Amino acid sequence: MRASVLTGPQTIELLERPVPETRPDEVLVRVGSVGVCGSDVHYYAHGRIGSMIVDGPLVLGHEVGGTIGAVGAAVDPRRVGERVALEPQRPCRRCRQCKTGHLNLCPEMEFFATPPIDGAFCDYVTLPEDFAHRVPDSLSDAASGLIEPLSVGIWANRKGGTAAGSRVFITGAGPIGAMVALSARAMGATETIVSDPVESRRQRITELASARTVDPVAGFDADEIEADVFLECSGSTPALLDGLKALRPGGAAVMVGHGDEQVTLPVQDIQVRELTLTGIFRYVDTWPTAISLAASGMVDLDALVTAQFGLDEVEAALNADADPMSMKSVVVVNGV
Ligand SMILES: [Zn+2]
Ligand SMILES: [Zn+2]
C-alpha cells in the first residue's frame, strides 16, 4: 500500500509499505479522507510535542473516515463494506484508568500519529472493531474524519459543564476553537463569546457558530462577560488570564489548547470566587454524540473544509495549515 511517511525533519516521502495485519478483534479500514490536525503540523515542523518525540519514520494523520475492507476472525463479517469514523486510539483496557472509565489517561495508550505509533496518511489502517464507529451515508468521508476534532469540542464542553442556557467564553477562533464553539451551541449554550486577535477569524466564527466576538488586542471588559464556562483554545497565557477574569463566581475553566509549561496564576481569585480550572486530554466516549450532531445537521463539518489534497500532497497540506485562515485541510486518500 501507499504510505506518506515523515522520514526526517520536515521531510515527507510517499513509500510502499505492507498492508498491516488485522488481529482477531480488529477491522482493516480502507482510508477515505484524513483531516490535518495542528499536532500533525507540529510533529512535521518541530519533531516533537513536549515529551512526545519523533525518533523514527512516522505516518501522521488521525482524523479518519473510511470503509471497512476486512475484519479479524472475532468480528462479524457483515461489517465489511461499512462506512466508519475512526476513534484513533488503542487503550490497554486493563489498567486502573481504563477500568474506571478514563481510557484517555491510559499510560499504555497507543494513539494514531503519536510517536512511535503510525497514523493514517496511507491506504489502510487497523483498529479494534469497537473504535470503528458506523456512520450514516449522509456523512461524507471528510466529515467522518472530522468527528475526531468535533469530539475534542464535545469533551471540552462536557468537562466545563456546558448545559442549556449556558454562557460560554472561548479564546481562539482556529479549528479547535470552532469545534468547541459549534459543540457549545449544540449542547445548549445560548450565548457564545469568542476572543481572537485576527479580525477575519472573528468574522468567520460569527458566521459559522453565531458567536459574538471580542478583540483581545483592542481590549474588552472581561469582568462584564460573567461566563458559566470558559474554554481556552489558543494556548496563550494572556488568553488564559483573560478567561479566568471573564468567569462568573463558581464558573469552570478548561484548558484545551497547548499552553506554556509554567504560568503564574491568580490563585486568590480562583480561591475566593471558587473557580474550577482543569484541562482535557483527548476524549472518552464522544463518537456516538459527535456522529449524531453531524448526522442531524446540528453541526456542518463539511463547511469547515478549506482545502483538499491528494496522498502525494501531504507536505503541501501540512504547510497549508500554517495559514491563519486555514480552517481544515483534508487529505483525500481514496476518493469515492
Ligand atoms: Zn486532531
Ligand atoms: Zn489502560
Q: Which ligand is nearest to the CA of 62?
A: 1
Which residues have a Cβ under 8 Å from the Cβ of 159 and sit 6 or more positions away?
A: 252, 254, 278, 280
* CA 282 / ligand 2 centre spacing (Å): 14
* CA 63 / ligand 1 centre spacing (Å): 6
- Kindly state the cell numbers that stand for 122: 496511507
User: Residue 270 pairs with which residues in a beta bridge?
Assistant: none
What's the confidence (pLDDT) of residue 83?
A: 98
Parallel, antiparallel, or unpaired for β 11-16 and 26-35? Answer: unpaired
What's the confidence (pLDDT) of residue 275?
A: 98
Element containing residue 148 per DSSP (H, E) = helix 147-160
Cβ proximity of 61 and 43 under 8 Å: no
Mean pLDDT of the chain: 96
Q: Which ligand is nearest to the CA of 88?
A: 1
Q: Which ligand is nearest to the CA of 87?
A: 1
* CA 147 / ligand 1 centre spacing (Å): 10
Q: Which residues of the chain have pLDDT under 70?
A: 336
Measure the CA–CA gap between 40 and 176, rounded to whole angstroms. Answer: 14
* CA 151 / ligand 1 centre spacing (Å): 9
Q: Which ligand is nearest to the CA of 101?
A: 2
The type of residue at 67 is T
The type of residue at 149 is P
Parallel, antiparallel, or unpaired for β 212-214 and 191-195? Answer: parallel
Which residues have a Cβ under 8 Å from the Cβ of 168 and sit 6 or more positions away?
A: 157, 160, 162, 181, 184, 189, 191, 192, 193, 227, 228, 229, 230, 231
Q: Which ligand is nearest to the CA of 102?
A: 2
Cβ proximity of 177 and 230 under 8 Å: no
* CA 108 / ligand 2 centre spacing (Å): 6
Q: Quick one: which of 68, 69, 32 has its CA closest to 143?
A: 32
What's the confidence (pLDDT) of residue 322?
A: 78
What's the confidence (pLDDT) of residue 335?
A: 86
User: Residue 161 pairs with which residues in a beta bridge?
Assistant: none
* CA 152 / ligand 2 centre spacing (Å): 20
Residue burial 156-194, b: 16+ Cβ < 10 Å; e: rest: bbbbbebeeebbbbbbbbbbbbbbbbbbbbbbebebbbb
* CA 36 / ligand 1 centre spacing (Å): 7
What's the confidence (pLDDT) of residue 23?
A: 97
What's the confidence (pLDDT) of residue 50?
A: 85
Cβ proximity of 244 and 267 under 8 Å: no
Q: Which ligand is nearest to the CA of 111?
A: 1
Measure the CA–CA gap between 90 and 175, rounded to whole angstroms. Answer: 25
What's the confidence (pLDDT) of residue 115?
A: 95
Measure the CA–CA gap between 8 and 316, rounded to whole angstroms. Answer: 16
* CA 285 / ligand 1 centre spacing (Å): 16
What's the confidence (pLDDT) of residue 325?
A: 84
Cβ proximity of 25 and 128 under 8 Å: yes
What's the confidence (pLDDT) of residue 13?
A: 97
Q: Quick one: which of 191, 174, 156, 239 has its CA closest to 38?
A: 174
Q: Which ligand is nearest to the CA of 96?
A: 2
pTM: 0.97
Measure the CA–CA gap between 38 and 44, rounded to whole angstroms. Answer: 10
* CA 88 / ligand 1 centre spacing (Å): 10
* CA 82 / ligand 2 centre spacing (Å): 28
Q: State the CB neighbour count (10 A cutoff) for residue 91.
A: 21
Name the E strands within the chain. Answer: 2-8, 11-16, 26-35, 48-49, 52-53, 58-59, 63-71, 83-86, 89-90, 110-111, 124-128, 132-134, 167-171, 191-195, 212-214, 227-232, 247-255, 276-279, 305-310, 328-332
